[in-house]
Structure 1
Amino acid sequence: MKLIIQMPCFNEAETLEIALTALPREVEGFDSVEWLIIDDGSTDATIEVAKRCGVDHVVQHMGNKGLAVAFMTGIENCLKQGADVIINTDADNQYDASNIPDLVKPILKKKSEMVIGARPISTIEHFSPAKKFLQKLGSWVVRGASKTNIPDAPSGFRAISKSAAQKLMVFSEYTYTLETIIQAGQKDISICSVPVNVNDDLRPSRLVKSIPSYIQRSIFTIIRIFVIYRPFRFFLTIGSSLMLVGFLISVRYMYFYLFESGNGHVQSLILSAILIMMGFQTILVSFLADLLSANRKLLEDVRVKINQIIHKRED
């Protein structure tokens, strides 16, 4: 059994050595533990620090492509290196590496294929109230979209089995955390959560450059999640809402027409007709989006089968 611990990095020379020093070289249940660094176009000494600390595998991007792309690059290369279990953690030493045995335990016991480390959000001092609220909101949305029960969906500290890793495909360019959990719910990947500790903050978050920016990106990410993974419900809700508003406006028009002669309320009738037509068209779009979603799932299944064949040949 091989465990590979991956770290996406972008200009992490100042914190990388601290994070790597904390990583284990032996974990119960595994014959070997290897480290893999994904350098996402760093312009500092990230690679030099990684090699000096004895990292087994270094993968480089030609330019900064973002955290989500770096995560998937790491997953693909871990599979190529024969990983049976993959640990993803941050290069800023946010997560306590001593919890790694706790993360892999459900996978080793065949109780789960993906394990998310749940941070004590409410007690983390360097998290602002707004960030804590958004963390909880994001987790709530993911639970609703994925039908899972993960308390800390934005956590990047997670263990992934080989079978689960082969099924993952992240579309977002911003972050992978929410989308991979929803995929787990969609693809029947068993998933659970274990409590983990966090270390002191070494640097400001790269994802949260400002609260307004984080809110904007989080909203777009959540909307995109629903469009991709719940397209029928998403467009049906919009279409039904438009038709309901149009119907209520038409009722208002009929009231004035029957009881108060209706003079001067033709605009309401026009608006009602427009909203009802828009709602009907949006509902039609929901059926088309559902068909496209089914086609995407079939293509993803084909991709998984091809990856499994490739990895068997490499083994």
Structure 2
Amino acid sequence: MKLIIQIPCLNEEKTLPITIKDIPRKIEGISKVEILIIDDGSSDRTIEVARKLGVDHIVRFPKNKGLAEAFKAGLDASLRLGADIIVNTDADNQYKGSDIPKLIKPILEKKYEMIIGDRKTDTIAHFSPIKKFFQRFGSKVVRTLSQTDVPDTTSGFRAYSRDAALRINVVSEFTYTLETIIQAGHKKISVGHVEIGTNAKLRESRLFKSIYGYMKRSAKTIIRIYTMYRPMKVFVTSGLILFFLGVGIGVRFLIYYLLGDGNGHIQSLILSAAMMIIGFQLGMLGLIADLISNNRKLVEETLYRVRKIELQQVSQLDEGLNQTVLASTKQIS
């Protein structure tokens, strides 16, 4: 059983040594633990520091692509390297590396395919009251939309089984945390959570400059991903609301018309007709979007099968090369 711990990095020469030092190299139930660094266009000595620390694998972007792309590249590289379980953690040492055995235990026991570390954000001292409120509110929204019970949906400390990682397709350019949970919920990937510890704050977050900016971009991501998997519900519900509001306004006009005061409310009739037409169009758009969504499911299932076959072939090729080298060594000896 092989575990790869992936760490997205952006100018982390100062914090990376602390993070890696905290990662256990021997875990019960795991035969091999490897560390993968995804350098997201760092301009400092992150790569040099990583090599000195004995990091097993490095994926490097010459230019910054963002956290979502780094996470996605890490998953792909980990799968190609033969990972049975993939753990994602941050390079700023926010999460306790000593909790990795606890994080992967439910996957080893085959209880879940994806585990999210619960930081218990209400107890984190350096989180402001407003940040704690939005953490609770945002997590509740994501839980509802994903039909999961994850209490800390923005936690980046998480573990994936090989099969779960194969099924995840990140399309967001901002962050992967919310999207992957909503995806997992709608793809019927079993998602669990465990309580984890956090370390003292070493630096400010580089993902967002303000809570407002983070909430704005997160809201866009949530709406986009949920609509992608439940277009009929989104568009038809919106269409019905508009349609019946239009009907209500039309009834209001009719009442005034029957009372002899219809001429003063012609604008209500126009608004009613417009809302009913737009509502009907949204409903039709929902039907079309649902067909596209079903096609997307087929494409994702095909992609999953192709990736699985591709990785099996890579594994067989590596095994064949190893056997050839071993045979050559024996002949020489």
Pairwise TM-score range, normalised by the shorter structure: over 0.9
Please tell me whether residue 225 in structure 1 is matched to residue 225 in structure 2: yes
1:51 aligns to what? 51
Aligned letter for 2:196?
A: V
Superposed displacement of residue 263, structure 1: 2.3
Letter of the 2:203 counterpart: R
> In the alignment, is residue 87 of structure 1 matched against residue 84 of structure 2?
no
Q: Secondary structure at the match of 2:8?
A: strand
3-state SS of the aligned residue for 2:15?
A: helix
Aligned to 2:238: 238
Provide the C-alpha distance between the structure 1 equivalents of 2:260 and 2:124, rounded to a whole number of angstroms.
62
| Equivalent pair of 1:138/1:222 in contact (CA under 8 Å) | no
Partner residue in 1 for 2:136: 136
Superposed CA deviations along residues 3-22 of structure 1, whole A, max 9, x for unmatched, are 00000011111211111111
Q: Which moved more, 1:214-223 or 1:20-29?
A: 214-223
Partner AA of 2:158 in structure 1? R
Letter in 1 for 2:230: R
Measure how far apart 1:260 and its partner are.
Answer: 4.2
Identity of aligned residues (%): 55
The one-letter amino acid of 1:108's match is L
Give 1:188 deviation, angstroms.
Answer: 1.8
Q: Report the counterpart of residue 213 of structure 2 in structure 1.
A: 213
State whether structure 2 residue 3 is matched by structure 1 residue 40: no
Q: CA deviation at 1:286?
A: 0.6
- Output aligned runs, 1:67-106, within 5 Å: 67-106=67-106
Q: How far off is 1:138 after superposition?
A: 2.2
SS at match of 1:265: helix
Q: Secondary structure at the match of 1:30?
A: coil
The 8 Å contact of residues 15 and 91 in structure 2, kept in 1 or not, is answered as yes
Gaps of 5+ in 1: none
2:11 is matched with which residue? Answer: 11
Question: What is the alpha-carbon distance in structure 1 between the residues aligned to residue 228 and residue 132 of structure 2?
Answer: 26
CA contact (8 A) 1:145 1:230 kept: no
Give the structure 2 partner of residue 203 of structure 1: 203
* Residue 127 of structure 1, CA deviation: 1.4
Distance 1:247 1:119 in 2: 48
Contact 2:7 2:89 in 1 (8 A): yes
Aligned residues: 315
Asked if the contact 1:138/1:178 (under 8 Å) is kept, the reply is: no
The residue type paired with residue 27 of structure 2 is V
Per-residue deviation, 1:131? 2.0
Distance of 2:265 and 2:272 partners within structure 1:
11
**Higher mean C-alpha deviation, range 45-54 or range 232-241:** 232-241
Deviation at 1:96, TM superposition (A): 0.9
Match for residue 289 of structure 1?
289
Please provide the CA RMSD for this pair: 1.1
* Residue 162 (1) aligns with residue 162 (2): yes
> In structure 2, how many angstroms separate the alpha carbons of the residues matched to 1:64 and 1:198?
27
For 2:152 and 2:55, locate their aligned partners in 1 and report how far apart those are by CA, in whole Å.
29
Q: Which runs of 5+ in 2 are unaligned?
A: 316-333
Aligned equivalents of 1:202, 1:312: Cα separation in 2: 41
Equivalent residue of 2:170, what SS? Answer: coil
1:267 positional shift: 0.7
Is residue 2:65 matched to residue 1:65? Answer: yes
SS in 2 for 1:255: helix
Are 2:182 and 2:226, in contact at CA under 8 Å, matched by a contact in 1?
no
Superposed displacement of residue 254, structure 1: 1.1
- For 2:251 and 2:226, locate their aligned partners in 1 and report how far apart those are by CA, in whole Å: 32
The answer on whether the counterparts of 1:229 and 1:293 sit within 8 Å (CA) in structure 2 is yes
Farther off after superposition, 273-282 or 248-257 = 248-257
In the TM superposition, 1:261-300 aligns within 5 A as 261-300=261-300
